[in-house]
Amino acid sequence: MNQQPIEAAFRGAAVREPIRIDWLNVVGIGYYHLVALLAFVPWFFSWTGVTLAIVGSYVFGTLGINLCYHRLLTHRGFVCPKWLEHGLALLAVLSFQDTPARWVAVHRRHHEHADEDPDPHSPIVNFVWAHMGWLFVRPSEMERTQIYPRYAKDILRDPLYRRMENPAVYLGTIIASWGVFFALGTAAALVAGSAWPQALQFGASVLVWGVFVRTVLVWHLTWSVNSVTHMFGYRNYETDEESRNNIVVGLLTNGEGWHNNHHADPRSARHGHLWYEVDVTYLSLRALAALGLASKIAEPNRHRLAAAGRLQTRAENPNPTPP
Protein backbone atom coordinates (compact mmCIF):
# COMPACT_ATOMS: atom_id res chain seq x y z
CA MET A 1 0.00 0.00 0.00
CA ASN A 2 1.30 3.45 -0.91
CA GLN A 3 1.04 5.36 2.36
CA GLN A 4 2.33 8.77 1.32
CA PRO A 5 -0.82 10.01 -0.47
CA ILE A 6 -2.96 8.80 2.42
CA GLU A 7 -0.78 10.50 5.00
CA ALA A 8 -0.90 13.65 2.90
CA ALA A 9 -4.67 13.44 2.91
CA PHE A 10 -4.67 13.29 6.72
CA ARG A 11 -2.42 16.31 6.89
CA GLY A 12 -4.64 18.13 4.44
CA ALA A 13 -7.71 17.33 6.50
CA ALA A 14 -5.95 18.65 9.57
CA VAL A 15 -5.26 21.91 7.77
CA ARG A 16 -8.80 22.29 6.51
CA GLU A 17 -10.52 21.56 9.80
CA PRO A 18 -9.56 22.86 13.26
CA ILE A 19 -8.82 20.13 15.78
CA ARG A 20 -11.75 19.51 18.12
CA ILE A 21 -10.78 17.94 21.44
CA ASP A 22 -12.95 15.14 22.83
CA TRP A 23 -12.80 16.30 26.44
CA LEU A 24 -14.81 13.37 27.80
CA ASN A 25 -12.17 10.96 26.57
CA VAL A 26 -9.26 13.22 27.52
CA VAL A 27 -10.51 13.60 31.09
CA GLY A 28 -11.96 10.10 31.46
CA ILE A 29 -9.00 8.17 30.06
CA GLY A 30 -6.55 10.36 31.95
CA TYR A 31 -8.45 9.96 35.21
CA TYR A 32 -8.68 6.19 34.91
CA HIS A 33 -4.95 5.90 34.23
CA LEU A 34 -4.11 8.10 37.21
CA VAL A 35 -6.34 6.16 39.60
CA ALA A 36 -5.01 2.86 38.25
CA LEU A 37 -1.53 3.97 39.31
CA LEU A 38 -2.73 3.65 42.92
CA ALA A 39 -2.25 -0.08 42.38
CA PHE A 40 1.44 0.56 43.03
CA VAL A 41 0.63 1.96 46.48
CA PRO A 42 0.81 -0.91 49.02
CA TRP A 43 -2.23 0.38 50.95
CA PHE A 44 -4.45 -0.41 47.95
CA PHE A 45 -3.08 -3.89 47.35
CA SER A 46 -5.01 -7.10 47.93
CA TRP A 47 -4.89 -10.43 46.17
CA THR A 48 -8.67 -10.23 45.85
CA GLY A 49 -8.26 -7.00 43.91
CA VAL A 50 -5.66 -8.56 41.61
CA THR A 51 -7.97 -11.51 41.01
CA LEU A 52 -10.85 -9.17 40.20
CA ALA A 53 -8.72 -7.32 37.65
CA ILE A 54 -7.76 -10.55 35.89
CA VAL A 55 -11.20 -12.16 36.01
CA GLY A 56 -12.80 -8.81 35.17
CA SER A 57 -10.73 -8.49 32.00
CA TYR A 58 -12.47 -11.66 30.81
CA VAL A 59 -15.95 -10.78 32.06
CA PHE A 60 -16.02 -7.16 30.92
CA GLY A 61 -13.51 -7.35 28.06
CA THR A 62 -14.00 -10.75 26.47
CA LEU A 63 -17.73 -11.14 27.11
CA GLY A 64 -18.64 -7.45 27.00
CA ILE A 65 -16.46 -5.92 24.30
CA ASN A 66 -15.32 -8.90 22.20
CA LEU A 67 -18.44 -11.01 22.26
CA CYS A 68 -21.20 -8.41 22.55
CA TYR A 69 -20.05 -5.10 21.09
CA HIS A 70 -17.91 -6.70 18.39
CA ARG A 71 -19.14 -10.10 17.30
CA LEU A 72 -22.82 -9.68 18.19
CA LEU A 73 -23.84 -6.04 17.77
CA THR A 74 -21.35 -4.97 15.09
CA HIS A 75 -21.21 -8.06 12.89
CA ARG A 76 -24.32 -10.01 13.92
CA GLY A 77 -22.27 -13.18 14.14
CA PHE A 78 -24.79 -14.99 16.33
CA VAL A 79 -28.18 -14.67 17.99
CA CYS A 80 -28.99 -14.81 21.70
CA PRO A 81 -31.93 -13.95 23.97
CA LYS A 82 -32.47 -10.21 24.33
CA TRP A 83 -31.99 -10.33 28.11
CA LEU A 84 -28.56 -11.90 27.60
CA GLU A 85 -27.65 -9.42 24.88
CA HIS A 86 -28.54 -6.51 27.16
CA GLY A 87 -26.61 -8.05 30.04
CA LEU A 88 -23.51 -8.46 27.90
CA ALA A 89 -23.95 -4.93 26.55
CA LEU A 90 -24.03 -3.60 30.12
CA LEU A 91 -20.70 -5.32 30.77
CA ALA A 92 -19.33 -3.56 27.69
CA VAL A 93 -20.70 -0.19 28.81
CA LEU A 94 -18.87 -0.64 32.12
CA SER A 95 -15.66 -1.03 30.12
CA PHE A 96 -16.01 2.69 29.27
CA GLN A 97 -15.41 2.26 25.53
CA ASP A 98 -18.38 4.43 24.53
CA THR A 99 -22.03 3.61 23.96
CA PRO A 100 -23.14 0.54 21.99
CA ALA A 101 -24.23 2.63 19.00
CA ARG A 102 -21.04 4.64 18.75
CA TRP A 103 -18.73 1.65 19.26
CA VAL A 104 -20.55 -0.22 16.51
CA ALA A 105 -20.59 2.78 14.16
CA VAL A 106 -16.87 3.42 14.54
CA HIS A 107 -15.99 -0.21 13.96
CA ARG A 108 -18.24 -0.57 10.93
CA ARG A 109 -16.67 2.55 9.45
CA HIS A 110 -13.25 1.03 10.11
CA HIS A 111 -14.18 -2.05 8.09
CA GLU A 112 -15.59 0.00 5.22
CA HIS A 113 -12.47 2.19 4.97
CA ALA A 114 -9.74 0.09 6.61
CA ASP A 115 -6.33 1.78 6.30
CA GLU A 116 -7.72 4.56 4.13
CA ASP A 117 -8.28 8.24 4.88
CA PRO A 118 -11.75 7.83 6.47
CA ASP A 119 -10.59 4.98 8.76
CA PRO A 120 -11.01 6.39 12.30
CA HIS A 121 -7.93 4.67 13.75
CA SER A 122 -5.49 3.49 11.12
CA PRO A 123 -1.73 3.34 11.84
CA ILE A 124 -1.10 4.94 8.44
CA VAL A 125 -1.01 8.12 10.55
CA ASN A 126 1.24 6.63 13.22
CA PHE A 127 1.19 3.92 15.87
CA VAL A 128 0.14 6.18 18.75
CA TRP A 129 -2.75 7.59 16.71
CA ALA A 130 -4.06 4.10 15.98
CA HIS A 131 -3.62 2.94 19.57
CA MET A 132 -5.28 5.80 21.42
CA GLY A 133 -4.58 9.20 19.86
CA TRP A 134 -7.71 9.09 17.70
CA LEU A 135 -9.84 8.94 20.85
CA PHE A 136 -8.81 12.43 21.96
CA VAL A 137 -10.12 14.31 18.92
CA ARG A 138 -13.53 14.37 17.28
CA PRO A 139 -13.54 15.28 13.57
CA SER A 140 -16.88 16.57 12.34
CA GLU A 141 -17.39 13.49 10.14
CA MET A 142 -17.19 11.30 13.26
CA GLU A 143 -19.94 13.11 15.14
CA ARG A 144 -22.87 10.91 16.07
CA THR A 145 -25.22 12.77 13.72
CA GLN A 146 -22.86 11.99 10.84
CA ILE A 147 -22.07 8.31 11.41
CA TYR A 148 -25.21 6.93 13.06
CA PRO A 149 -27.54 7.15 10.03
CA ARG A 150 -25.14 5.03 7.95
CA TYR A 151 -23.63 2.69 10.53
CA ALA A 152 -25.87 2.34 13.60
CA LYS A 153 -29.55 2.64 12.66
CA ASP A 154 -30.21 -0.97 13.62
CA ILE A 155 -28.60 -0.50 17.03
CA LEU A 156 -30.67 2.58 17.85
CA ARG A 157 -33.92 0.70 17.24
CA ASP A 158 -33.33 -0.89 20.65
CA PRO A 159 -34.76 1.34 23.43
CA LEU A 160 -31.96 0.45 25.87
CA TYR A 161 -29.25 1.47 23.43
CA ARG A 162 -31.10 4.70 22.62
CA ARG A 163 -31.23 5.52 26.33
CA MET A 164 -27.49 4.95 26.58
CA GLU A 165 -27.00 7.87 24.19
CA ASN A 166 -28.05 10.13 27.05
CA PRO A 167 -24.75 11.09 28.73
CA ALA A 168 -26.43 11.10 32.14
CA VAL A 169 -27.52 7.49 31.67
CA TYR A 170 -24.25 6.29 30.13
CA LEU A 171 -21.90 8.02 32.56
CA GLY A 172 -24.26 7.48 35.48
CA THR A 173 -24.19 3.74 34.87
CA ILE A 174 -20.40 3.71 34.89
CA ILE A 175 -20.05 5.87 37.99
CA ALA A 176 -22.67 3.82 39.82
CA SER A 177 -20.53 0.73 39.22
CA TRP A 178 -17.71 2.39 41.18
CA GLY A 179 -19.97 2.59 44.20
CA VAL A 180 -21.10 -1.01 43.76
CA PHE A 181 -17.54 -2.35 43.72
CA PHE A 182 -16.53 -0.25 46.75
CA ALA A 183 -19.67 -1.10 48.73
CA LEU A 184 -19.48 -4.84 48.02
CA GLY A 185 -15.80 -4.96 48.92
CA THR A 186 -16.38 -3.09 52.16
CA ALA A 187 -19.42 -5.20 53.05
CA ALA A 188 -17.56 -8.45 52.34
CA ALA A 189 -14.75 -7.41 54.68
CA LEU A 190 -17.20 -6.46 57.43
CA VAL A 191 -18.99 -9.79 57.10
CA ALA A 192 -15.61 -11.54 57.35
CA GLY A 193 -15.06 -9.81 60.69
CA SER A 194 -12.82 -6.90 59.74
CA ALA A 195 -13.04 -3.59 61.59
CA TRP A 196 -14.27 -0.54 59.70
CA PRO A 197 -10.81 0.87 58.87
CA GLN A 198 -9.68 -2.46 57.40
CA ALA A 199 -13.01 -2.92 55.62
CA LEU A 200 -12.77 0.50 53.97
CA GLN A 201 -9.22 -0.26 52.91
CA PHE A 202 -10.36 -3.54 51.35
CA GLY A 203 -13.23 -1.77 49.59
CA ALA A 204 -10.80 0.77 48.17
CA SER A 205 -8.58 -2.06 46.92
CA VAL A 206 -11.52 -3.74 45.22
CA LEU A 207 -12.44 -0.43 43.58
CA VAL A 208 -8.93 0.40 42.33
CA TRP A 209 -8.14 -3.07 41.00
CA GLY A 210 -11.61 -4.29 40.08
CA VAL A 211 -12.62 -1.14 38.19
CA PHE A 212 -9.72 1.11 37.25
CA VAL A 213 -6.86 -1.34 36.73
CA ARG A 214 -9.20 -3.76 34.95
CA THR A 215 -10.60 -1.04 32.68
CA VAL A 216 -7.17 0.28 31.72
CA LEU A 217 -6.00 -3.27 31.01
CA VAL A 218 -8.99 -3.95 28.76
CA TRP A 219 -8.53 -0.60 27.01
CA HIS A 220 -4.97 -1.34 25.98
CA LEU A 221 -5.84 -4.86 24.90
CA THR A 222 -8.65 -3.52 22.70
CA TRP A 223 -6.53 -0.67 21.37
CA SER A 224 -3.69 -3.05 20.49
CA VAL A 225 -5.96 -4.63 17.89
CA ASN A 226 -6.27 -1.23 16.17
CA SER A 227 -2.54 -0.52 16.34
CA VAL A 228 -0.38 -3.63 16.63
CA THR A 229 -2.43 -5.94 14.39
CA HIS A 230 -2.40 -3.47 11.51
CA MET A 231 1.40 -3.29 11.63
CA PHE A 232 2.98 -6.47 13.01
CA GLY A 233 2.24 -10.12 12.36
CA TYR A 234 1.46 -12.56 9.59
CA ARG A 235 -1.29 -12.78 7.00
CA ASN A 236 -3.38 -15.83 6.17
CA TYR A 237 -5.36 -13.89 3.56
CA GLU A 238 -4.55 -11.28 0.94
CA THR A 239 -7.07 -8.69 2.10
CA ASP A 240 -7.11 -5.17 0.65
CA GLU A 241 -5.77 -3.50 3.81
CA GLU A 242 -2.89 -4.03 6.24
CA SER A 243 -4.49 -6.31 8.83
CA ARG A 244 -2.26 -8.91 10.50
CA ASN A 245 -2.62 -11.89 12.81
CA ASN A 246 -0.47 -11.29 15.87
CA ILE A 247 0.18 -14.22 18.19
CA VAL A 248 0.78 -12.13 21.32
CA VAL A 249 -2.26 -9.91 20.80
CA GLY A 250 -4.35 -12.89 19.70
CA LEU A 251 -3.69 -14.72 22.95
CA LEU A 252 -3.90 -11.69 25.27
CA THR A 253 -7.20 -10.49 23.76
CA ASN A 254 -8.76 -13.96 23.75
CA GLY A 255 -9.01 -14.10 19.97
CA GLU A 256 -9.35 -10.53 18.73
CA GLY A 257 -5.74 -10.43 17.57
CA TRP A 258 -6.35 -12.86 14.70
CA HIS A 259 -7.24 -9.69 12.87
CA ASN A 260 -6.34 -10.63 9.31
CA ASN A 261 -8.70 -13.61 9.59
CA HIS A 262 -11.39 -11.25 10.85
CA HIS A 263 -10.97 -8.77 8.00
CA ALA A 264 -11.11 -11.62 5.50
CA ASP A 265 -14.49 -12.73 6.89
CA PRO A 266 -15.90 -10.04 9.22
CA ARG A 267 -19.23 -11.69 9.99
CA SER A 268 -17.71 -14.95 11.21
CA ALA A 269 -17.89 -15.29 14.99
CA ARG A 270 -14.78 -17.47 14.86
CA HIS A 271 -11.57 -15.49 14.43
CA GLY A 272 -9.04 -18.28 14.96
CA HIS A 273 -8.77 -20.30 11.75
CA LEU A 274 -5.68 -22.45 12.38
CA TRP A 275 -5.03 -24.87 15.22
CA TYR A 276 -2.70 -22.54 17.08
CA GLU A 277 -4.99 -19.51 16.71
CA VAL A 278 -6.78 -20.01 20.03
CA ASP A 279 -10.00 -18.00 20.20
CA VAL A 280 -11.34 -17.96 23.76
CA THR A 281 -14.13 -15.56 22.77
CA TYR A 282 -15.41 -18.08 20.22
CA LEU A 283 -15.07 -20.92 22.74
CA SER A 284 -17.11 -18.87 25.20
CA LEU A 285 -19.77 -18.43 22.53
CA ARG A 286 -19.78 -22.17 21.92
CA ALA A 287 -20.28 -22.70 25.67
CA LEU A 288 -23.31 -20.41 25.56
CA ALA A 289 -24.63 -22.36 22.57
CA ALA A 290 -24.23 -25.62 24.51
CA LEU A 291 -26.40 -24.09 27.23
CA GLY A 292 -29.03 -23.12 24.67
CA LEU A 293 -28.22 -19.40 25.00
CA ALA A 294 -26.76 -18.76 21.54
CA SER A 295 -27.65 -19.88 18.05
CA LYS A 296 -27.16 -19.12 14.35
CA ILE A 297 -23.41 -18.80 14.92
CA ALA A 298 -21.67 -17.54 11.80
CA GLU A 299 -18.75 -19.84 11.00
CA PRO A 300 -15.93 -19.00 8.55
CA ASN A 301 -17.31 -18.73 5.04
CA ARG A 302 -15.21 -20.87 2.71
CA HIS A 303 -16.28 -19.01 -0.41
CA ARG A 304 -15.53 -15.61 1.11
CA LEU A 305 -12.16 -16.77 2.40
CA ALA A 306 -11.29 -18.27 -0.98
CA ALA A 307 -12.07 -14.90 -2.56
CA ALA A 308 -9.77 -13.27 0.00
CA GLY A 309 -6.91 -15.37 -1.37
CA ARG A 310 -5.93 -17.95 1.23
CA LEU A 311 -2.14 -18.17 1.29
CA GLN A 312 -2.14 -21.88 2.16
CA THR A 313 -5.10 -24.16 2.79
CA ARG A 314 -5.30 -26.74 5.52
CA ALA A 315 -5.48 -29.41 2.84
CA GLU A 316 -2.11 -28.25 1.57
CA ASN A 317 -0.64 -28.21 5.08
CA PRO A 318 -2.89 -29.72 7.74
CA ASN A 319 -0.44 -29.05 10.61
CA PRO A 320 1.24 -25.73 9.89
CA THR A 321 3.91 -24.35 12.16
CA PRO A 322 3.07 -20.97 13.74
CA PRO A 323 4.89 -18.21 11.83
Task: Identify the sign of the CA torsion 61, 62, 68, 70.
Answer: positive
Q: In the chain, where are the structural domains located?
A: 3-307
Tell me what the pLDDT averaged over the chain comes to.
91
Helix, strand, or coil here: 237?
strand
Using pLDDT thresholds of 50, 70 and 90, give the confidence band for residue 305. confident
- Find the mean pLDDT for residues 150-166: 97
Q: Which amino acid is at 1?
A: M
Q: Is the pLDDT of residue 3 over 50?
A: no
Q: CA-to-CA distance for 322 and 220, rounded, in angstroms?
A: 24
Q: CA-to-CA distance for 59 and 213, rounded, in angstroms?
A: 14
For residues 311 and 237, the answer to whether their CB atoms sit within 8 Å is yes
Using pLDDT thresholds of 50, 70 and 90, give the confidence band for residue 322. very low
Give the global pTM: 0.89
Q: Which residues contact 320 (CB under 8 A, 6 or more apart)?
A: 274, 275, 276, 312, 314
Beta-carbon-side half-sphere exposure of residue 281 (alpha carbons within 13 Å) = 34
* pLDDT for the residue numbered 5: 40
Q: Which amino acid is at 134?
A: W
